[in-house]
Amino acid sequence: MQAFSAPRYGGPEVLVHAELAIPDPAPDQVRIRVLASSVNPLDWHELRGEPWLVRARGGVRRPRQTVVGSDVAGIVDEVGTEVSGIQVGQRVFGTAVGAFGPFALARPKRLAFVPDGVTPPIAASLPVAGCTALQALRKGGVESGSKVLVVGASGGVGTFAVQLAVAAGASVTGVCSTPNVELVRSLGASTVIDYTTGGLDALEGPFDAIVDNIGSMPFRRCRALLRHGGAYVVIGGPDGGSVLGPLTHLARAKLAFVFGGRRAVPFLASIESADLDDLARRVAAGTLVPVVERTFGSQEVPDAIRHVETRRTRGKVVISDVPDWPAKETV
Ligand SMILES: NC(=O)c1ccc[n+]([C@@H]2O[C@H](COP(=O)([O-])OP(=O)(O)OC[C@H]3O[C@@H](n4cnc5c(N)ncnc54)[C@H](OP(=O)(O)O)[C@@H]3O)[C@@H](O)[C@H]2O)c1
């Protein structure tokens, strides 16, 4: 197969278009013929091998897995000997290894079936960002009547978090920059704060939960904006150094909230079939509408990663050559 491959750690410029062997699934994996994928910040962290923590898993000196990419939608084309419940030819989405190539490997517990009416590019926009948003709101105890602040409301996770919180019956305040104010409002946020024009200073609580994708507000300020017992859900943070990266921020948050009666909830999302299924059903029903800023072709993988590295993405960036499923699913 032809795929972009990273023979060493580095930016998108290290990617070379190469002929590689089609990967074989392990007994507990399925192989997916990839029809669409989407880019997450994790992909460029893994490509660069930054912070160093990612090398502990991915290879210290050079990447063991040279084709990056995680979010995937496609058609199962081979099933490992120990896998049951998934068959060749079925439409699936979730997270996989090597999703920016034409074939990717995945464990069934990280996949769900794609319902009718959901295209590959839309299904591929859901896994990491959608599951993260869903789980963040759950961990923050968000329910009908909750007052929620979403910082970084216009990005991949944020655009899902705003919509899912509104759907749960919460009242949402979103934080973004001037060009994204209307977008965040259109997703259902009742108040939108423009952080570039001093809007953060005027923020008034108390909130039941803060979902923070950015880590730009001082912990003291976050604590003051929460009601007693409220939750500061930490999804992302500043770079935080070359060893642990954003995880440093997550650990600091935990320490900063030891006293004061508010909870810090740092967490790493886990991509699971039940949550994927929940997201896909909402999309099929029209109650969740992924925001796809741009779709790159499979020959433009380095550009797609570059785009997400700017940290200015509105919603999701998708990689796909097809707008819909093939008429006949033969593999
Ligand atoms: N803990 C986990 O399991 C987990 C899972 C997924 C992602 N993450 C992390 O969560 C973070 C968000 O992920 P993502 O996929 O949403 O990233 P993303 O799509 O790349 O986020 C881009 C968005 O961030 C916004 N932004 C940048 N600086 C901002 C600021 N100072 N204040 C408010 N908004 C700002 C931008 O909006 P403007 O252009 O309007 O500023 C843009 O829309 C990343 O750090 C990612 O690594 C963690």
> 3-class secondary structure for the chain?
CEEEECCCCCCHHHCEEEECCCCCCCCCCEEEEEEEEEECHHHHHHHHCCCCHHHHHHCCCCCCCCCCCCEEEEEEEEECCCCCCCCCCCEEEEECECCCCCEEEECHHHEEECCCCCCHHHHHCCHHHHHHHHHHHHHCCCCCCCEEEEECCCCHHHHHHHHHHHHCCCEEEEEECHHHHHHHHHCCCCEEEEHHHCHHHHCCCCEEEEEECCCCCCHHHHHHHEEEEEEEEECCCCCCCCCCCCHHHHHHHHHHCCCCCCEEEECCCCCCHHHHHHHHHHHHHCCCCCCEEEEECHHHHHHHHHHHHCCCCCCEEEEECCCCCCCCCCC
Cis-peptide into 25, omega within 30 deg: no
Q: What is the pLDDT of residue 136?
A: 98
Question: What is the rounded distance in angstroms from the CA atom of residue 304 to the CA atom of residue 291?
Answer: 16
Give 192-246 pLDDT, tens digit per residue.
Answer: 999 999 889 989 999 999 999 999 999 999 999 999 999 999 999 887 666 777 7
130 ligand 1 Cβ < 6 A = no
- Across 306-322, b (16+ Cβ under 10 Å) vs e yields bbbbeeebbbbbbbbbe
Question: What is the rounded distance in angstroms from the CA atom of residue 215 to the CA atom of residue 97?
Answer: 28
125 ligand 1 Cβ < 6 A = no
In 3D space, the residue among 99, 155, 164, 140 whose CA is nearest the CA of residue 226 turns out to be 140
Q: Which atom of ligand 1 is nearest to the CA of 216?
A: 31
Q: What is the pLDDT of residue 11?
A: 97
Q: How far is the CA of 5 from the centre of ligand 1 (A)?
A: 26
Q: Which atom of ligand 1 is nearest to the CA of 132?
A: 5
Q: Which residue among 46, 110, 177, 232 has the greatest number of ligand 1 atoms within 8 angstroms of its CB, and so is best to mutate?
A: 177
Q: Which atom of ligand 1 is nearest to the CA of 42?
A: 47
- The answer on pLDDT for 328 being more than 70 is no
Q: Which residue among 44, 46, 157 has the greatest number of ligand 1 atoms within 8 angstroms of its CB, and so is best to mutate?
A: 157
Give 254-270 pLDDT, tens digit per residue.
Answer: 999 988 899 999 889 99
- The answer on pLDDT for 309 being more than 70 is yes
User: Residue 118 — very low, low, confident or very high, per pLDDT cuts 50/70/90?
Assistant: very high
- The answer on pLDDT for 331 being more than 50 is no
Residue nearest to atom 10 of ligand 1 (CA): 236
Residue nearest to atom 36 of ligand 1 (CA): 312
Average pLDDT score, the chain: 95
Taking the alpha carbons at both ends of the chain, their separation in whole angstroms is 15
Q: Which atom of ligand 1 is nearest to the CA of 175?
A: 33
74 ligand 1 Cβ < 6 A = no
Q: Determine how β-strand 91-95 pairs with β-strand 71-79.
A: antiparallel
Q: Which atom of ligand 1 is nearest to the CA of 308?
A: 20
The arithmetic mean of pLDDT across residues 131-142, rounded, is 98
Q: How far is the CA of 255 from the centre of ligand 1 (A)?
A: 22
Share of the chain above pLDDT 90, in %: 88
216 ligand 1 Cβ < 6 A = yes
- The answer on pLDDT for 282 being more than 90 is yes
Q: What is the pLDDT of residue 238?
A: 84
Give 19-67 pLDDT, tens digit per residue.
Answer: 999 999 999 999 999 999 999 999 999 999 998 888 988 899 999 999 9
Q: How far is the CA of 330 from the centre of ligand 1 (A)?
A: 38
Cβ-based neighbours of 163, under 8 Å, separated by 6 or more = 187, 188, 288, 289
Cβ atoms of 148 and 172 closer than 8 Å: yes
Tokens for 237, please give them.
């943070």
Q: What is the pLDDT of residue 240?
A: 67
Cis-peptide into 120, omega within 30 deg: no
Q: How far is the CA of 309 from the centre of ligand 1 (A)?
A: 10
Give 66-110 pLDDT, tens digit per residue.
Answer: 999 999 999 999 999 999 999 999 999 999 999 999 999 999 999
